[in-house]
Each structure stands twice: as structure tokens, then as C-alpha cells.
Structure 1
Amino acid sequence: MSKVSMSTRIDASANQVWKVLSDFNGIPVFVDAFEKSTMEGLGVGAVRSLTLKSGGPPIVEKLERIDELAKTLSYSIVTSPLPLKDYFSTVEVIDLGSGQCEVKWYSTFEPKDVPEAEAVKIVEGVYTGGFEGLKKLFGAKLLK
């Protein structure tokens, strides 16, 4: 089983960031790779279909659990063109006070038909894109 765990600090309150992250259908707001998201159902068990800007088949994900108090959301991939199987991920928002928070994004999965290092790099790329999108959304200047 492969694992990826990444985190970043955001210059916004935990409540502000959680409002964005807890909208299971709202991921295109902060992950630029996604053109749109369509969702069936509400709450735990809801399924979103993510259309990639690059084209190809959608990524279909299922909301496995959400905890508003702990500010955590977990989801799994149902079907995907990505070389991953048994993917399960959690996003967590931690209040740091003073208008800042930490976002943790971690997952477990099995690489599918690619070396583990390649699968890990793909997942890290998605998380990095999400973190950059959140920082942009909340007005941070990104260092290049």
C-alpha cells in the first residue's frame, strides 16, 4: 500500500477554508485541473464526477465521511483514468489561530500498472495543485 501525506499553511481562518473544502462538489473552485464537477446525492455516499480540462474519462469519487466539527472529509475513487486503485483520501483543516490554518491531505492507494514512484508523483501533483489553488483563492502570493 502506497501513502502520500502533504500539508500547507493557508493565510485564512480554518472556518473559511473548511467552507470551501467541505463543498464536495466544489473542487474545481481550487483545483485548476478540473473543468467541472457534477454530483449525485448529498452527504455521505454522494458521488462526484470530475471532468478534466485535459479531456479523457472523468474521475468518479465517493464521499465516505465528513466531520464538520473536526473539519475532516474522506473520499474514495470509484473509477479513474489515473493509475491508482483502492484510493482512499482524507482532507483535514486545523485551526492555527491568528487567521491561519493548516490543510493536511493524505491518502493510501495501490499503483495500477505503473511504478510506485510514478503513482506517488501523480498524487503529489494533485495535492500541490490543490494547495496552490487554495492559496490563490485566499489571496496569498505564490513564490515561484
Structure 2
Amino acid sequence: MASTSVSRTVPAPPERVWQLIGGFGSLPDWLPYIPSSILEDGGRLRRLGNPDGDTIVVRLVAFNEEERQYSYAIVEAPFPVTDYVSTLRVHAVSGDATVSEVQWSGRFVPTDASEADVVALFTGIYGDGLEALIKALS
């Protein structure tokens, strides 16, 4: 099993960041690469569309409002992986209530691609996503 994790310090308090990203259907609010998100199955399944016309379906597997984190698993996607689980979390930064640390991590089994290539793919997706979040909060 492979994994990757990307963290960024963002210019907003944890409560504000979580308000923007904590909703399972909220990706289009801050991530330009995902212009649509349709919730199904009582909000536990999200069907995402991207500009290339691909569909990405993920299932919510854990949600913790108090700890400001949720995890999801890929059900269907154009990625060369199986057993994919990802977590998005917001942490307070000790000593500075005006900033937060956001961590996006994932673990997965590469298929039809090298581990290095798949790790680089998701490291890029997470990093670009967190940069888009910083822009959305500015």
C-alpha cells in the first residue's frame, strides 16, 4: 500500500476553513478542478464531475465535526488505484488563531502504474487543491 500527505498553512482560523471545506459536497466551493458535486445516498456518496468530463464517485467513511476531519473512499474514478482512502483535516496552529494547517492525505494500492507515479499524481492533486483553498480563503 502506498501513501502520500500534503499540508499547507492557510490564512484563516480553523472554524472558517472547516466551514468552507467541511461539507462533504463543498468541493466546488473551493476546488476549481471539481465544478460539480452531487450528493446521493443521504449525503454519504458524492458524484463529482471534472472539466474533462470524468466522473469520480466517493463514499464518506468517517466524519468528525469536533476534530474537523472526514475520510472518503473511491467507488469509481479514472485513477490507477484500488483500496483508496483519503482524509481531509483542519488543525489549529498553536499560538496563532488567525491561521490553520490543512492536511490532505491518502493511501492506496497502485494498479497499471508505478507506485512513484501514483504517489506523484495524488501529491500533485492534494498540493494543487490546497493552493486553491488558500486562494479561495484570500
> Shared topology, TM-score over 0.5?
yes
RMSD, aligned CA: 1.1
Select which of 30, 50, 53 maps to 1:52: 50
Is 1:61 the equivalent of 2:61?
Answer: no
Aligned residue among 62, 73, 77 for 2:74: 77
Deviations 1:14-64 (A, max 9, x none): 001111121111112222211211110345xx10011011123x0100111
CA distance in 2, matches of 1:13, 1:41: 31
The runs of at least 4 consecutive aligned structure 1 residues that moved more than 3 Å come to none
The residue number in structure 2 matching 1:101 is 100
Deviations along 1:96-131, one digit per CA (max 9) or x if unpaired, are 133100001111101110011111111112101211
Structure 2: tracts of 5 or more residues without a match: none
SS at match of 1:98: strand
Q: Which amino acid aligns with 2:90?
A: V
Runs of 5+ in structure 1 lacking a partner?
Answer: 140-144
TM-score between both structures, scaled by the size of structure 2 = 0.93
**Identity across the alignment (%):** 32
- TM-score using structure 1 length: 0.90
In the TM superposition, residue 78 of structure 1 has moved relative to its aligned partner by 0.6
Q: How many residue pairs were aligned?
A: 136
